[in-house]
Every structure is written in C-alpha cells, then in structure tokens.
Copies of this chain bind each other. A is one copy, B any other.
Amino acid sequence: MTQGTTQGGTRAAVGDSEFDRDTAVTRREPGVYDAELSAGWTIINAVNGGYLLAVLGRALSDALPHSDPFTVSAHYLTASQPGPAVVRTELVRGGRTLSTGQASLFQYDAEGREIERIRVLASYGDLDALPDEVRTSAAPPDIPPVEHCFGPEDGPAPVPGSSAITERLWLKLDPATLGWALGAPSGKGEMRSWFGLADGRDADPLSLLLAVDALPPTAFELGIKGWVPTVELTVHIRCRPAPGPLRVAITTRNLAGGFLEEDAEVWDTAGRLVAQSRQLARAPRG
C-alpha cells in the first residue's frame, strides 16, 4: 500500500501536480502576485491553513533573493474563502545567506476592497548550501507500518463532514491516535500519520508548509470536537525532504485558558527531521 498515484497510474511530478497548480501565483507587478484559492483544500467550509501558507510561501520564494523557506511565521486574521486572492510581498532585508520578507494575503469584499486574511514574516535561505552535519537527539515518531495505519478510504470517513482536502492528501493515521474516530479518544494530545499527496507528488519545502497543518486536530484525541482555528503558525524547514512518504507527529502539551499549542515534527524517508512547527490555536468549547 504505497503512496497514491494519478488516475493514469503514474505519480505526479513536483511542478506538475494538483498542489503546484493550486498554489500557483502569477506576478502582477514586482512583489505582487495573483492567486486563485482552490476549493480542493477545504475542511468543511474552511480553507486549510497549511495550504494557504504554501501559497504565501510560493510568492515569497519568487520575490526574495533566496528561494527556500527557513522559518515562516504566520498570523491568521480573517477566514479565507475559495476564489481570487492577491499576495503582496516586501523584502525586509536581503543578506548573504538569509533574506527576510513579509507577505500578506488579501481577498476582496463585495465592493472589491481588499481584506487581509493572513500576514507572514519569513526568513529564506538556500537549503542546499547548508553543511551536512547532523547532531540531532530527536528520533523519528514510532508510527506502525503503512499497512497497519488507516486513511479515509479504509472506513467511515474519520474526518467529520465533507472535506475536499481528504481527496488531495494521502493520509495513513496511526491507529493509536484514531480513538476519536471510534468515539473513544485516548485523552492524549497526540496525532500521528504517514503523509503524502494523493497524486503521488513528492515533498518539497513548500509542501512541508502544508504537511505541518494537514492532520486532524490533536484536540479530537483530547475529546474535543469542532473547529480549532489557528491564531499563529510558525514553521521551520530544516532540510530538503527525500522522496517518498513523510511521517508527521503532532503533540499538544498545554490546553488551557481556551487555547492550545500544536507542535508538529515532519520526518522524511531518510530518517531526517525536515520540519518543525508550532501553532497557537483556539480550543473549541468541548
């Protein structure tokens, strides 16, 4: 049971895939990009925050002197909708090894006025220029083999409601974090899954921005149902991912005062920690 393929039975290539088409940006003028937010990356009616971050990340990748996101901090302001959007970028500082930029994603109200959806600060560099040295003490998450994990196609939809995004993703969830789908949440703030894109496109730094925010919320395993809107999400991309499925582990340690954090780690097939993220989200009243 391997990662997905296109209907033709082949795997989509980086640059020619659903994810690439749906995160494409068109330069309107220097630093300003038009985009079309796809309805294909929605959960219930909300556009996925990781997908939105990838759209912003792609615009910055074009606008800045360096093309790889190293650290991206996003504050979510208003709810995005499928449809037209514009990304306005600014070069804050261009350095030799790192460039810092800012970007905002806007949509339009009924009168055509711009409404800001998300604002981002980001530092970009060149992942291929980094030394190979690795001295990590982190270990990959203990996820069972893919054939012992479960996705939406393996039973009644574990994600409640209709969610277009589940058709775009290849998710195989660790059964130890699937209690919520059976009405018996574990009580632990943990969610783990194999992750890929449904058309078999391999991961790259931009799709890692999606991967950190694409699993069901850890809140489900804490026995809480409902929407968990992101206030702020910061992602560190630490390494260019190797081909093949990723492993994603998300942990919540502190649910308090109506907010919770979600810490994500993403590991590639080469056993490298390729991304780390943390978000602050509002807890649903559960």
28 contacts between A and B (CB under 8 A): A70-B231, A71-B280, A73-B73, A73-B232, A73-B234, A75-B100, A75-B123, A77-B93, A92-B119, A98-B231, A120-B121, A121-B121, A130-B259, A133-B256, A133-B257, A133-B258, A134-B257, A135-B222, A136-B253, A136-B256, A137-B254, A138-B253, A138-B254, A232-B234, A232-B236, A234-B278, A236-B259, A238-B256
Cα–Cα, bound, A261→B237 (Å): 11
Cα–Cα, bound, A234→B280 (Å): 11
Answer whether residue A116 sits at the interface, using C-beta atoms and an 8 A cutoff: yes
Answer whether residue A78 sits at the interface, using C-beta atoms and an 8 A cutoff: yes
Per-residue contact bits, chain A 120-149, to B (CB 8 Å; 1 contact, 0 not) = 111100010011111111100000000000
- Which B residues are CB-close (under 8 A) to A131? 257-258
User: Please, which residue of chain B has its CB at the minimum distance from the CB of A93?
Assistant: B77
Given A92-B77, A93-B78, A236-B280, A255 contacting B136 (CB threshold 8 A)? yes
Answer whether residue A168 sits at the interface, using C-beta atoms and an 8 A cutoff: no
Cα–Cα, bound, A77→B90 (Å): 14
Answer whether residue A3 sits at the interface, using C-beta atoms and an 8 A cutoff: no
Interface of A is mostly: strand
- Residues A208-261 near B (CB distance < 8 A): 222, 231-232, 234, 236, 238-239, 252-259, 261
Copies in the assembly, this chain:
2
Cα–Cα, bound, A133→B257 (Å): 6
Contact A276 B278 (CB under 8 A): yes
- Which B residues are CB-close (under 8 A) to A189? 137
Cα–Cα, bound, A92→B241 (Å): 34
Given A75-B121, A189-B137, A257 contacting B238 (CB threshold 8 A)? yes
In the complex, what's the smallest C-beta–C-beta distance from A203 to chain B, in angstroms? 17
Answer whether residue A11 sits at the interface, using C-beta atoms and an 8 A cutoff: no
Cα–Cα, bound, A132→B92 (Å): 40
Answer whether residue A87 sits at the interface, using C-beta atoms and an 8 A cutoff: no
Given A92-B75, A137-B188, A222-B135, A130 contacting B257 (CB threshold 8 A)? yes
Cα–Cα, bound, A137→B280 (Å): 16
Contact A261 B276 (CB under 8 A): yes
Cα–Cα, bound, A232→B102 (Å): 13
Contact A102 B119 (CB under 8 A): yes
- Residues A161-217 near B (CB distance < 8 A): 188-189
Answer whether residue A12 sits at the interface, using C-beta atoms and an 8 A cutoff: no
User: Please, which residue of chain B has its CB at the minimum distance from the CB of A251?
Assistant: B137
